């Protein structure tokens, strides 16, 4: 059932973001684009019965929030909503804004594992520019249907109301070198990186490694990796491997590697 976010006294702005999907049964890629609905509503007004999804990563640049999801589907575009309830949680000097993400689509019969990389302007959520200039501000991005799936990150203050040069967000992950059926894809060919969390396995593939990294990959090595998330479609020929359609696969760039086994 499609969730209706339109309230009598509330205008909701919709932005369509082009997110390319690969599917063996769909030819018209325009039907696979996803949407984010911007809504200033209370959490109780948002859908909780959409198809399950996972927030994989989140970050920001200037006044834009960047989100990376995974979900099962592939036969149609999906709709997500994002909202801030206009509350500021203060703990000492620290301020936190809780941003809730809700999945509105529940009728996609596809069985592929899809990764969406989407972004939204925080202006649409009516977050004051003065607040976005504060260094002690944090965002808590929450899966509305599964609240233990959330990511907290620190604000990057904007200056003089003008976009700055792009800021690269780095993450530290403990990953294991694993073999995949995707030969000749990525810098290490059929050796990718893997991380298991609860009942899910996340696979990491990359084309680019910092030239200063001095490491020769060995199967089952455990590594501490400093990385940057990138759209999966930026990896050369990644769509040629069926493995990426049936598993959670994330695109990354590697900055540092430390062996820990």
147 & 177 share domain: no
Whole-number Å distance between alpha carbons of 253 and 225: 10
Specify if 161 maps to a domain: no
Model confidence at 139, in pLDDT bands (50, 70, 90)? very high
Among 154, 179, 195, identify where a domain stops: 154
Q: Which range marks the domain in which residue 217 is found?
A: 171-259
* pLDDT at 19 exceeding the cut of 50: no
Residue 193 lies in a domain: yes
Picking from 119, 154, 189, the residue at the C-terminal end of a domain is 154
Where is the domain boundary, 154, 182, 202?
A: 154
Is residue 12 pLDDT above 80, yes or no?
no
| Statement to judge: residues 227 and 117 lie in one domain | no
Q: Are 82 and 120 in contact (CB under 8 A)?
A: yes
In a domain, 159, yes or no: no
Domain count for the chain: 2
- Predicted TM-score (pTM) above 0.95: no
Q: Are 101 and 80 in contact (CB under 8 A)?
A: yes
How far is the C-alpha of 258 from the C-alpha of 221, rounded, in Å?
10
Residue 214 pLDDT greater than 90, yes or no: yes
Instruction: Give domain status of residue 82, yes or no.
Output: yes
Is 111 in the same domain as 27? Answer: yes
Q: Do 150 and 242 have their domain in common?
A: no
> Is 7 within the bounds of a domain?
no
In a shared domain, residues 233 and 114 = no
Q: Are residues 109 and 235 in the same domain?
A: no
Q: Is residue 83 part of a domain?
A: yes
Structure-token pair, residue 32: 């696979």
Q: Give the span between the Cα atoms of 229 and 23, in whole angstroms.
A: 23
pLDDT of residue 53 exceeding 60, the answer is yes
Report for 63-72, 185-194, 227-236: range of highest mean pLDDT: 185-194
């Amino acid at each position: 059932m499609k969730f209706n976010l339109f309230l009598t006294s509330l205008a909701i702005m919709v932005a369509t973001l082009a997110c390319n999907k690969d599917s063996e049964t769909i030819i018209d890629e325009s039907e696979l684009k996803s949407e984010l609905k911007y809504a200033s509503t209370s959490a109780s007004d948002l859908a909780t019965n959409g198809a399950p999804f996972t927030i994989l990563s989140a970050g920001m640049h200037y006044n834009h929030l960047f989100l990376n999801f995974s979900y099962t589907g592939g036969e149609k575009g999906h709709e997500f909503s994002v909202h801030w309830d206009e509350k500021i949680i203060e703990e000492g000097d620290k301020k936190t804004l809780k941003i809730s993400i809700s999945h509105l689509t529940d009728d996609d019969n596809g069985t592929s594992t899809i990764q969406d990389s989407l972004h939204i302007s925080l202006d649409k959520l009516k977050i004051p520019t003065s607040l976005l200039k504060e260094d002690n501000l944090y965002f808590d991005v929450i899966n509305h249907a599964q609240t233990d799936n959330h990511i907290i990150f620190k604000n990057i203050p904007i200056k003089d109301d003008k976009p700055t040069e792009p800021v690269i967000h780095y993450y530290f992950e403990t990953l294991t070198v694993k073999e995949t059926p995707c030969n000749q894809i990525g810098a290490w060919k059929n050796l990718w990186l893997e991380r298991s969390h609860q009942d899910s396995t996340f696979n990491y593939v990359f084309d680019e490694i910092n030239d200063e990294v001095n490491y020769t990959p060995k199967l089952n090595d455990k590594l501490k990796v400093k990385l940057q998330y990138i759209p999966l479609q930026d990896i050369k020929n990644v769509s040629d491997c069926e493995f990426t359609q049936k598993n959670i696969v994330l695109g990354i760039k590697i900055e540092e590697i430390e062996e820990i086994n």
